[in-house]
Structure 1
Amino acid sequence: MAQRFYDIDFASLTPPEAIDPLDYEVILDERKARFLELWDEARAENPDLPAYDTLVLETDPVAVLLQESAYRELVLRQMVNDRYLDATLPYAVGSALDVLGTLYGVQRQDGETDERFRRRVQLAPEALSTAGTVGGYIYFALSAEPTLLDVDVRKSQPGRVEVTCRAVGTDPRPSAAILSAVRERLIDEGVAPLTDMVTVRAPSVVRATVTAELIVSDTPTKPVIVAEAKAALNTYIESRMAIGSVLYRSGITAALHVPGVVSVNLIEPSYDVAPSGDQAGVVLVEVINVTAARA
């Protein structure tokens, strides 16, 4: 099985340099400076014109017009930035991403999120190879079944390929019917090389629980702080749902440490939780209790 695919993390990329910075005050100052330049030129031709020294007043008519036009320019720059990003795979969303997908011959599946669709588009060039690449196997597996959240491909021994599929939802193990459908697609002519024996399986599951005590500032907004901490924790947990991802204690603590939280006493897990065996597994997390105590 050829290894040509490098899974670039789009989230780690910095925006292109062509993106115009947005700063209303800078735009307004530039417009004011340009207006005064033009006014001085007009005064040079017509000395009877007075010096213009009232732009600092909010009620000055020219100042009002310049503020309005500066805001229009800000909106226009934002629109140009958005349109530019819509033409790039890492940043395009919605219908713009759908159009980019057509360049790779990929259509969005019913109910497919931008992130999942973006990943399939990224993988699409791998599908052009008949050499059985890692990216190609992942692409065809995700395209065969829209309920898959993640796919892992490993070569256990020469000629044997193990494809692990993680389902969306609370149960990461796909049904036998889904695994069978994926396998049928992967062993289809033109997908897997004749020399590859393909096995499709569900991931092993390691269960973990989260119990934490938050030391929170003595404030009437304590319930809001706890709610924000729980929401941040859920976001972190969702980011660790991929096959082979480790649930780090430091990540849990960092997620719970939202503004207003003085410190976090993480009771469990007492260690970083990693998938077992060959790492082609997932960590299934249940938040047991997150409570707050006075600082």
Structure 2
Amino acid sequence: MKEARYSAIDLSQLRPPDVVEQLDYESVLADMLAGLRAYKNQNGEAIFTALVESDPALKILEVAAYREMIVRQRVNEAARSVMLAYATGTNLDHLGALPGVARKVLQEANPQAFPPVDAVLESDDDYRRRIQLSLEGFSSAGPTGAYIFHALSAAPGVKDVDAFSPAPGVVAVTVMSNGGDGSPGADLLATVQERLSDESIRPLTDRVVVQAAKIRPYTIRARLLFHDGPDREAVLAHVRAMAEKFCHEHHRLGADITISGLYAALHQAGVRKVELLEPTETISIDRVEAAWCTDVDILEGDAP
């Protein structure tokens, strides 16, 4: 039976923030029309009581309502940019600066190359997770979240980490790398071990054992039947992209490869039927394991 892993608040399950307004163009236009119709001249007489579709005043209001929608959307975007759940790019970098967590550089830039090569940075999702875990790192009692945070921050090559105590006084830390199938090299494990052995991180009573993730290879093979239409190649390319996205998102410690998840990834618009050939059942992944997809093979049409 798989043990429960430490997890921070699931940001995707938070209710939408009230500060983000639900925009409705028709409501904005109706408010402006009401204001225009209520306008009166010096004699107290309403002068915009018989507007028609071709009236220039109405056209001006439609343009104004559209512009107001753009402004309100910009306000929404600004509000989201300072929320951990929604911030991306450099906005997320500034949120990370508050607890002192910098984005990892996975590969340095090479401006001398031809063409120049940009730096490869930690993804927003991975960086967001470390920011969320950073408060755990302030604890000196050795909580699970603290070990995970410090291990994730030990080196750019660390992709995922799990920590648990198999026995009193022992902390087992499993490390997965962000290269290839996720198997960490000896140097990366040594770097994490050194980081977690620091007296400012590890309680004196803990013995930390850093270990490599166990990689579970698997293959996706499926046969698809398509609805009639001229865009079969486009549908097939989209299905393949969604399957590869599924593989990428589940290349984590303890992430099961479920049959239901695979069907959801493969059964896209334009697909009439999916016959999943491999795997034939859900692959249960333990907390010290990571699944690695070695191939995505999508076949077309009925079986011969």
Shared fold, TM over 0.5: yes
Partner of 2:41: 42
The alignment status of 1:142 with 2:143, answered yes or no, reads no
Partner of 1:198: 208
Distance 2:297 2:89 in 1: 37
Q: CA deviation at 1:13?
A: 2.1
Q: CA deviation at 1:50?
A: 7.0
Partner of 1:222: 232
8 Å CA contact 1:43–1:50 kept in 2: the answer is no
The alignment status of 1:187 with 2:182, answered yes or no, reads no
Partner of 1:8: 9
8 Å CA contact 1:127–1:139 kept in 2: the answer is yes
- Please give the per-residue CA displacement for 1:73-124, whole angstroms capped at 9, x wherever unaligned: 1111111111111121111112221221122121222212221111111111
8 Å CA contact 2:154–2:195 kept in 1: the answer is yes
Distance 1:185 1:101 in 2: 20
Q: CA deviation at 1:53?
A: 2.3
Query: Gaps spanning 5+ residues in structure 1: where?
Result: none
The alignment status of 1:107 with 2:102, answered yes or no, reads yes
The alignment status of 1:257 with 2:256, answered yes or no, reads no
Residue from 292, 298, 301 that aligns with 1:290? 298
Residue from 57, 61, 64 that aligns with 1:62? 57
Q: Secondary structure at the residue paired with 2:22?
A: coil
Letter aligned with residue 284 of structure 1:
W
Distance 2:67 2:89 in 1: 25
Letter aligned with residue 36 of structure 2:
F
Partner of 2:287: 279
- Please give the per-residue CA displacement for 1:180-203, whole angstroms capped at 9, x wherever unaligned: 001000001110111111111111
Partner of 2:185: 175
Letter aligned with residue 63 of structure 1:
L
Letter aligned with residue 68 of structure 2:
E
Letter aligned with residue 16 of structure 1:
P
- Please give the per-residue CA displacement for 1:35-72, whole angstroms capped at 9, x wherever unaligned: 1222xx3386247x574321x23xx3212211221111
Distance 1:78 1:22 in 2: 8
Distance 2:182 2:205 in 1: 30
Partner of 1:24: 25
What TM-score results when the alignment is normalised by the length of structure 1?
0.90
8 Å CA contact 2:37–2:49 kept in 1: the answer is no
Q: Say what the alpha-carbon RMSD is for the aligned residues.
A: 1.9
Distance 1:219 1:139 in 2: 50
Letter aligned with residue 141 of structure 1:
A
8 Å CA contact 2:243–2:296 kept in 1: the answer is no
Q: Secondary structure at the residue paired with 2:222?
A: strand
The alignment status of 1:121 with 2:131, answered yes or no, reads yes
What TM-score results when the alignment is normalised by the length of structure 2?
0.88
8 Å CA contact 1:183–1:199 kept in 2: the answer is yes
Distance 1:219 1:291 in 2: 18
Query: Gaps spanning 5+ residues in structure 2: where?
Result: 106-120
8 Å CA contact 1:206–1:274 kept in 2: the answer is no
